[in-house]
Amino acid sequence: MPELPEIRAHAERLTAELSGIRLDRFEPLSFTALKTYAPPPESAHGHELRGVGARGKHLLLDVEAVSFVVHLMQGGRLRRDTSKAKRPRNGVARWHFAEGRRLLLTEAGTERRAGVWVVEGDPLVREPLVELGPDADTVTVEQLTALLAERSMRLHTFLRDQRVLAGIGRRLANEICHGARLSPFVGTRGLDDAQVATLHTAIGEAIAEGLASERGRDDMSASKDRPAQVHSRTGEACPVCGDEVREITYNRYTVNYCATCQTGGRILADNALSRLGVDREEWGRGRQHG
């Protein structure tokens, strides 16, 4: 899933391409595209696109009168539409701008979860963005300390919970835990001040690295092209210590880690998670937001 770096760099690209151009028409292409009833998308017609912003894993098209909040979910993409197709393949919604320019939201796969919210006023204080925690790279060490202390969760689950910190998915959570040399399953209340400071640095570095990589591209990367030391690197050598990168699966959910760097050499077996006290409900909830 595109995470904060991919979304933010893409927002910058779309702003450079389309800001100042008039929106003539918004066209939903699937029944599940539009997640809101009011205001109607027609209220944006004839207004200029002021820019495209990013919040967590969401894109925000600011069209003067209203904002379109777009969530790409797993397989969604928002791109310039250069086809002439009336019903583009995997099409979810389309924005028709002046000068014949069009933006097309597509979603690969069959889940149909990508969508568009039309929001009046400040979109940050309205659904769906109001539920988000702060963007993960904007919190101070003090704020992070408070967020960790407020809840008892496994670190990997905490990092991916969009209501706590916005913008981190599976890849960044794996990379941040590895960067901080922390077990993905350590409890949020089990970290000392030095570990929280290291975690804070790792969050900033992983996001900055992703942003730098993504800003060098002319379209959103595929997940295999994103920087990763451990994510999806099962069986490869850890670039830090040379140990083998391992994976652990729980409820069809895969976490990558390096035992030498992160768990004091302890190799976690799939069935060991229950002994670590990771409950099914917590992981199920994490997946909803991950």
The residues binding Zn ion (CB under 5 A) are: 238, 240-241, 243, 258, 260-261
Residue nearest to Zn ion (CB): 238
Identity of the residue, 40 or 265, whose beta carbon is nearer to Zn ion in the bound complex: 265
Give the shortest CB-241-to-Zn ion separation in angstroms. 3
Paired residues of 71 in beta bridges: 58, 115
Give the shortest CB-205-to-Zn ion separation in angstroms. 16
Give the shortest CB-156-to-Zn ion separation in angstroms. 17
Pairing of strands 102-107, 51-55: unpaired
Give the shortest CB-258-to-Zn ion separation in angstroms. 3
Give the shortest CB-265-to-Zn ion separation in angstroms. 10
CA distance 273 to 232: 20
Give the shortest CB-47-to-Zn ion separation in angstroms. 52
Identity of the residue, 14 or 238, whose beta carbon is nearer to Zn ion in the bound complex: 238
CB within 8 Å of 50: residues ≥ 6 apart:
19, 20, 62, 63, 64
* 3-class SS of residue 59: strand
Task: Output phi, psi for 231, to 5 deg.
Answer: -60, 125
CA distance 90 to 93: 10
Give the shortest CB-243-to-Zn ion separation in angstroms. 5
Burial class (CB in 10 A: 0-12, 13-18, 19+), 228: buried
Is residue 30 a contact partner of residue 105, using CB atoms and an 8 Å limit? no
For residues 154, 290, 211, 255, the Cα torsion angle rounded to the nearest 10 degrees is 50
Identity of the residue, 208 or 241, whose beta carbon is nearer to Zn ion in the bound complex: 241
Identity of the residue, 196 or 238, whose beta carbon is nearer to Zn ion in the bound complex: 238
Q: At what angle do helices 4-18 and 193-215 cross, to 10 degrees?
A: 40
Identity of the residue, 75 or 239, whose beta carbon is nearer to Zn ion in the bound complex: 239
Element (H, E) at 197: helix 193-215
61-64 contacts, C-beta under 8 A, 24 or more apart: 61/14, 61/95, 63/23
Identity of the residue, 146 or 237, whose beta carbon is nearer to Zn ion in the bound complex: 237
CA distance 150 to 207: 24
Give the shortest CB-171-to-Zn ion separation in angstroms. 17
Identity of the residue, 1 or 240, whose beta carbon is nearer to Zn ion in the bound complex: 240
Integer CA distances (angstroms), 101 to 211, 263, 268, in order: 27, 52, 52
Identity of the residue, 27 or 244, whose beta carbon is nearer to Zn ion in the bound complex: 244
